[in-house]
Amino acid sequence: MKKVLITGAAGFIGSHLCDRFKFIKYDVTNFIYIPDEIDIMLHFTYPASPVDYLNHPIHTMKVDSLGTINTLRLAKAKKAIYLFLYF
């Protein structure tokens, strides 16, 4: 399996969000299917630091392009609100 959260920590995600928030650790460059209902989908794009994305250039491009396509397709199928968060 490919590495996920190459520059972040899952513990920082969702700590201030509602009880219904569910973080799913997944490499979005691969096809994604979630059987559950989805109201809002957040796509946290790619490593924000120039040092990080220079260290991971291919994965950065894949997350930004393939990851966006895959998560948009899932959000559309689930009729969910989609937020693309660019840091």
pLDDT tens digit sequence for 12-70: 565 556 677 777 777 888 998 899 999 998 887 666 677 777 887 888 888 888 989 99
CA distance 63 to 68: 7
Q: Is the pTM of this model over 0.75?
A: no
Q: How far is 9 from 30, CA to CA, in rounded Å?
A: 20
Q: 56 is in which domain, residue-wise? A: 10-84
Q: Which amino acid is at 60?
A: T
Output the pLDDT for position 82.
94
* H-state helical runs in 11-67: 50-55, 57-62
CATH number at residue 75: 3.40.50.720
Residue 4 included in any domain: no
Q: Which two tokens stand for residue 2?
A: 């490919």
13 exposed, middle or buried (CB, 10 Å; 0-12, 13-18, 19+)? Answer: middle
CA separation for the pair 30, 42 (Å, rounded): 16
Number of domains in the chain: 1
